[in-house]
Structure 1
Amino acid sequence: MSLVISKRSLMAGSLMLLANLLFSAMAVAEQKETLGKWDVHYIAFNSTFITPDVAKHYSIVRSKYNGVINISVLNKADQKAQSAVLTGTARNLLGVSKSLTFKEVSEGDAIYYIAVLPFSDQETFRITVNINDGTDQQVLKFQHKFYAE
């Protein structure tokens, strides 16, 4: 009996593993805000935590100086993933602002949004994300300190 695993299913499996790790970390850290009709889960981490194949698939440059911001927007009532437009900025403590460009990723019933943020070692950002689904608009604000690993 031989086992053949396609590159696509390997990447999907890697991404699902990453998503599970991220959501497990979120459950422990409870990085969630209730904004209007949504529960918004968020996490920021170093891009080197992503496998090379997954990074390539989603056009993320792995670097110890690139952070990733991952956000999911869920309906507060039924916890179903919501499609929205996310835009944002990250401002460091010196006031230098960087625009965040979010890419929507859909996998099965899951929808999440990923943005890459270049940083210097031990740089702290105040992150502001505008979430808009066409009928509602909310603003998520949080702070994160990135470390080069």
Structure 2
Amino acid sequence: MFIRVVTGIQKHFDERVVEWAMAATGMYWGWTLAQPGKAWTNEAAWAGMLRITTEDTWGVLCMLAGGFWLVALTVNGTFSETAYSRYSPLVRGLAALGAVFVWWQVVMSVSAVQTSGSGIYPLPLFLSIWCVRNAWRDIGEERRSARASDRRA
């Protein structure tokens, strides 16, 4: 099973490298937020997110979202030739959409105050949107492929 997981990931890694990077980034960022102490020292910059919930809770949410995305990518590569593959792009897209929500909140929060973060945080937001687009594109390709095979049968 371990070899199947590794070779499955390897098989799709190049086409999903941005998704892997974004999932790992979200998980790691969440981990840093969930650590004892404060990662958000400029409370004015994070006031928008702090109105919704605490820094620790954001950290746990980011770790869960990133972890879910990593599992989805692992299963996507490992079981690409199974019935799961029909739903894989949808699961990946939903995971990416969760990341879009988080990074949108980050961008809106830090953009309300002049900080250096307002210049860099749009990048993970854009990349997450790109991942949603790619997953939705894969859903379309899967549906077209299923229709073509139905016509042949």
More relative contact order in 1 or in 2 (CA 8 Å, sep 6+)?
2
Greater gyration radius: 2
- Higher strand residue share: 1
- Higher helix residue share: 2
- What TM-score, normalized by structure 1, do the two folds share? 0.28
